[in-house]
Amino acid sequence: MKVRTLILGAGAAGLMCAAHAGPDTLVVDHARAPGEKIRISGGGRCNFTNLYTEPDRFLGENPHFHKSALARYTQWDFIDLVDRHSIAWHEKTLGQLFCDGKATQIVAMLLAEAEKAGARLWLGAEIGAVGHADGRFTCRITREGKPVDVVADNLVLATGGKSIPKMGASGLAYDLARQFGLSLTQTRPALVPFTFDAGRFAELSGTAVQARVGNDRHSFDEAMLFTHRGLSGPAVLQISSYWREGEDVVVDLLPGADAAQDLRAARQKVGRRAVTTALAQHLPARLVSHIAGQIDLTGNLADLSDARIDTIAESLHRWHLRPTGTEGYRTAEVTLGGIDTNGLDSRTMMAHHLRGLYAIGEAVDVTGWLGGYNFQWAWSSGVAAGRAIAGA
């Protein structure tokens, strides 16, 4: 069977590419339903883009690579598409846009767009050997138990990253990229909770605080959640992309405040108040008890010397924590790293050295912050490849 374009992966990027790649496109996926990560994303409401999408909110070895695609298909273009499909949405926080209804509306929209473009979709299909000969790609696909050899002018790698293997994530895009001579950068789980020694935060499990979590590279002011296994919540997921094993993260439990100054003022005004009571006005009581296990919070405010106030303030503003690791690909929202962008054209996503080979979406070494940025990369890179194929 001969097609013009074969897209491997019917996820966010693959479907978006299919909607733009022109006629005679076949999209193949081993899952029984397309866009499964879209369906479960954003708690079932899909955080489909971010109003503040800017290149500096993406990580990758080449910090410039993603600029072109993001500029040529922006968050406003995607919002326009969503509006044209009459999908109601709202901004939740920090520019994050979610469906008012269900994430499946976004999947349905992408399927409608791909169908309008004439693309065919094979689900539950196993991708076997892939090759390249005489300027064409060949792919053995097993569909409904029967092998089909597909020959294509263009091959798009859109099978995503390694996060959540239970949902069908595989390393296929990386294996094929390597097979066709593209390099890979190191991959690791990102946007992922931190783990700590057993029971480290067990007594705090379920407690959330607004915190600034950071290191020398970045810091994020968002919610932080204590869990049975460690730390989670948006601020922690964000910094996980900038963290490496063996490093500390520094937590500011009172971002924007000056704890030393505030404690001195309180000592003056309400000196007979217990230190723990004073702190519990700004932090959850359970957290104050936990901190009291690490530093001396006994006595009243009036008992505090300036030096003790400085020690307490330092502990609240610069709480050094060293995770033992992360929850890994089991729960990571994305994979950091991937197909080395040095081998790809930033305007078209096509491999420099092999005409007709494209890589898009999470498989590529471009990773966004939490908050709709990763879908925007899937849309932008999918459109870049699709338009290039359609115009080629």
Supply the minimum distance, in Å, between the C-beta of residue 94 and ligand FAD: 12
Count of residues near ligand FAD by CB under 6 A? 36
Supply the minimum distance, in Å, between the C-beta of residue 41 and ligand FAD: 3
Q: Does 154 bind ligand FAD (CB under 6 A)?
A: no
Binding span for ligand FAD by CB under 6 A among 10-18, 275-283, 313-321, 384-392: 10-18
Q: Does 41 bind ligand FAD (CB under 6 A)?
A: yes
User: Could you say which residues in the range 304-363 bind ligand FAD, by CB under 6 A?
Assistant: 333-334, 361-363
Q: Does 13 bind ligand FAD (CB under 6 A)?
A: yes
Q: Give whichever of 157 and 312 is closer to ligand FAD, judged by the CB atom.
A: 157
Neighbours of 94 (CB within 10 A): 16
**What is the β-pairing status of strands 334-336 and 357-359?**
unpaired
Contact with ligand FAD (CB under 6 A): which of 164, 239, 288, 344? 164
Q: Does 101 bind ligand FAD (CB under 6 A)?
A: no
The CA–CA distances, whole Å, from 367 to 3, 9, 75, 271, 370 equal 31, 18, 16, 50, 9
Supply the minimum distance, in Å, between the C-beta of residue 152 and ligand FAD: 15
The CB-nearest residue to ligand FAD is 11
Q: Give whichever of 334 and 349 is closer to ligand FAD, judged by the CB atom.
A: 334
Q: Give whichever of 89 and 373 is closer to ligand FAD, judged by the CB atom.
A: 373
Binding span for ligand FAD by CB under 6 A among 27-35, 54-62, 108-116, 312-320: 27-35
Q: Give whichever of 98 and 196 is closer to ligand FAD, judged by the CB atom.
A: 98
Q: Does 372 bind ligand FAD (CB under 6 A)?
A: yes
Contact with ligand FAD (CB under 6 A): which of 5, 11, 200, 358? 11
Q: Does 141 bind ligand FAD (CB under 6 A)?
A: no
Q: Does 170 bind ligand FAD (CB under 6 A)?
A: yes
Binding span for ligand FAD by CB under 6 A among 23-31, 241-249, 270-278, 301-309: 23-31
Phi and psi angles of residue 18, each rounded to the nearest 5 degrees, phi first: -60, -35
Binding span for ligand FAD by CB under 6 A among 28-36, 114-122, 235-243, 293-301: 28-36
Binding span for ligand FAD by CB under 6 A among 40-48, 244-252, 282-290, 321-329: 40-48
Q: Draw the binding track, 179-198, toward ligand FAD (x: CB under 6 A; -: no contact).
A: --------------------
Q: Does 95 bind ligand FAD (CB under 6 A)?
A: no
Q: How far apart are CA 341 and CA 333, in angstroms?
A: 21
Supply the minimum distance, in Å, between the C-beta of residue 131 and ligand FAD: 16
Where do we find the tokens 């330092």? 314
Where do we find the tokens 């969503």? 82
Supply the minimum distance, in Å, between the C-beta of residue 154 and ligand FAD: 17
The full 3-state SS of the chain, as one line of letters, equals CEEEEEEECCCHHHHHHHCCCCCCEEEECCCCCCCHHHHHHHHHCCEEEECCCCHHHEECCCCCCCHHHHHHCCHHHHHHHHHHCCCCEEECCCCEEEECCCCHHHHHHHHHHHHHCCCEEECCCEEEEEEEECCEEEEEEEECCEEEEEEEEEEEECCCCCCCHHHCCCCHHHHHHHHCCCCECCCEEECCCEECCCCCCHHHCCCEEEEEEECCCCEEEEEEEECCCEEECHHHHHHHCCCCCCCCEEEECCCCCCHHHHHHHHHHHCCCCEHHHHHHCCCCHHHHHHHHCCCCCCCEHHHCCHHHHHHHHHHHHCEEECCCEECHHHCCCEEECCECHHHECCCCCEECCCCCEEECHHHECCEECCCCHHHHHHHHHHHHHHHHHHHC
User: Could you say which residues in the range 269-298 bind ligand FAD, by CB under 6 A?
Assistant: none
Q: Which residues bind ligand FAD (CB under 6 A)?
A: 9-14, 29-31, 36-37, 40-42, 46-47, 127, 158-160, 163-164, 168-170, 172, 333-334, 361-363, 372-375, 378
